[in-house]
């Protein structure tokens, strides 16, 4: 998995149930990093994996979808997605 801890944060997600921020890679590509809910003992916290799986299934079905992969930011696991506008 990719570690993006040194990528700069350029914005924060709004109107979302999950914590997320916008960042830019060293190559100048904009991404969104989305974190799963903290584990509360009542439900699983696999939203990040679900995003990646959904992206891969959509590609297999030849559907348009965002590119998604697992990544770490300062020790926290999340879903790294190419920004929708790119």
pLDDT greater at residue 19 or residue 26: 26
CATH architecture of 2-82: 2-Layer Sandwich (3.30)
d(CA 26, CA 46): 28
Q: Residue 28: which pLDDT band, with cuts at 50, 70 and 90?
A: very high
Place of tokens 């916290």: 45
d(CA 12, CA 10): 7
Per residue in 12-24, pLDDT tens?
Answer: 877 677 789 999 9
CB–CB of 44/54 below 8 Å? no
- CB within 8 A of 25, min separation 6: which ones? 4, 7, 31
Asked whether the whole model's pTM tops 0.95, one would answer no
- Give the DSSP letter of residue 5: T
Per residue in 36-80, pLDDT tens?
Answer: 877 777 766 778 888 889 989 999 999 988 889 999 999 999 999
């Amino acid at each position: 998995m990719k570690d993006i801890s040194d990528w700069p944060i350029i914005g924060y997600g709004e109107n979302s149930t999950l914590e997320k921020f916008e960042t830019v890679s060293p190559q100048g590509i904009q991404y969104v990093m989305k974190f799963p809910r903290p584990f509360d003992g009542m439900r699983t916290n696999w939203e990040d994996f679900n995003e990646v799986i959904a992206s891969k299934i959509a590609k297999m079905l030849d559907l348009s979808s965002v590119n998604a992969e697992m990544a770490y930011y300062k020790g926290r696991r999340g879903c790294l997605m190419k920004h929708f506008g790119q």
